[in-house]
Amino acid sequence: MNTSITKRKLGTNGPEVSSIGLGCMGMSFGYGLIADKTESINLIRKAVELGVTFFDTAEVYGPFINEELVGEALEPFKGEVTIATKFGFNIGAEGLNSRPERIRLVAEASLKRLRIDCIDLFYQHRVDPNVPIEDVAGTVKDLISEGKVKHFGLSEAGVKTIRKAHAVCQVTALQSEYSLWWREPEDEIIPLLEELGIGFVPFSPLGKGFLTGKMDENTKFDSKDFRSTVPRLNPENLKANLVFVDLVKEVAQRKNVTPAQVALAWLLGQKPWIVPIPGTTKKERLVENLGAASFELSPGELQEIKVAASKIKPEGDRYSGGSAKLINR
């Protein structure tokens, strides 16, 4: 296994993982097409070869087929990698479900699909308003004591929820959207995570592909691609938001790297316990993304980007309609 990628500790008591992980959702879910299984397995194994030790999936991706894919791909590397998965949705029906009995069922099923004996990191995928977070945390704490789960995580949770959960069962990591294009976590979330010793795993660190510089106002998404429903990516807003891309492109040209690498390096430069999980189905993008760990933005460059980004307001919501209501409780 190549260990050229730097390692980071996810929070005070979390696992040590590669500084950049791999989000596997897009191989099976969300973007309209399901990637070729053999190609996806090869890509995941290539990631391991390149030093990635942190992989992200969930039962709802597919549903189920993404966990199965990740399980098959990583079976030869048991004990060498950290696999995160999630519970919290009703599969086959609408809405959320984090009732204790449901969490237990998901844990057992995920263990089988992932071909592992213990889930490294088990996130609540979205906060369920119908189940007290203390009950959720208590159930995961029991699973940890039973040896079925190692670490407890939350996703898109708000400050009050994180505090309440952490008081019952130590929260190892929070997974929420964070990028140059969505900096809301800086206000309250990141200071809280630092206070409590919780790691941060940004999803959509490249703004759903936007910060790579490969999109413009003429970009069209397939109707099955979830990005076709994202207000921030409709043609009018996309055009207005290109000022963010101009910012990363300018820094990228100066440093002779790509816009995507600047966007990821910016995240890595925020805190030593932040581990982004960009997703891809292409080997060349995987190599490009991991290249962000091979250089650093200086404090001056980080400040320059921050000041410039703070003067730009993103146009459009990051989710449409009902999805927006599930976040930051």
Nearest to 87 by CA among 76, 97, 73, 74: 97
pLDDT tens digits for 46-99?
A: 999 999 999 999 999 999 999 999 999 999 999 999 999 999 999 988 899 999
Q: List pLDDT tens digits, range 98-112.
A: 999 999 999 999 999
The architecture CATH gives domain 7-324: Alpha-Beta Barrel (3.20)
pLDDT for residue 185 = 97
- If you average pLDDT over every residue of the chain, what do you get? 94
Q: What is the pLDDT of residue 164?
A: 98
Map tokens 């942190």 to a residue: 54
pLDDT by residue (tens digit) across 19-51? 999 999 999 999 888 999 999 999 999 999 999
- One-letter identity of residue 221: F
In angstroms, the CA 300 to CA 306 distance is 10
* Beta-strand relationship, 16-18 and 7-9: antiparallel
Both structure tokens of 120:
């490294």
Rounded to the nearest 10 degrees, what angle do helices 100-114 and 65-74 cross at? Answer: 40
Q: Is 319 designated active site? A: no
Q: What is the pLDDT of residues 113-136, one digit of tens each?
A: 999 999 999 999 999 999 999 999
Spatial distance between the Cα atoms of 231 and 316, rounded to a whole number of angstroms: 5
Q: In the chain, where are the structural domains located?
A: 7-324
The catalytic position among 61, 123, 178, 319 is 61
Q: What are phi and psi of 22, to 5 degrees?
A: -125, 115
Task: Please return the burial class of 271, using the count of CB atoms within 10 Å of its CB with bins 0-12, 13-18 and 19+.
Answer: middle
pTM: 0.96
Query: Angle between the 235-255 and 259-268 helix axes, to the nearest 10 degrees?
Result: 80
pLDDT over 50 (residue 182): yes
Of the candidate ranges 92-96, 160-164, 187-191, the one whose mean pLDDT is the lowest: 92-96
Task: Identify the bridge partners of residue 85 per DSSP, sorted by sequence position.
Answer: 122
Question: What mean pLDDT do residues 179-186 have?
Answer: 95
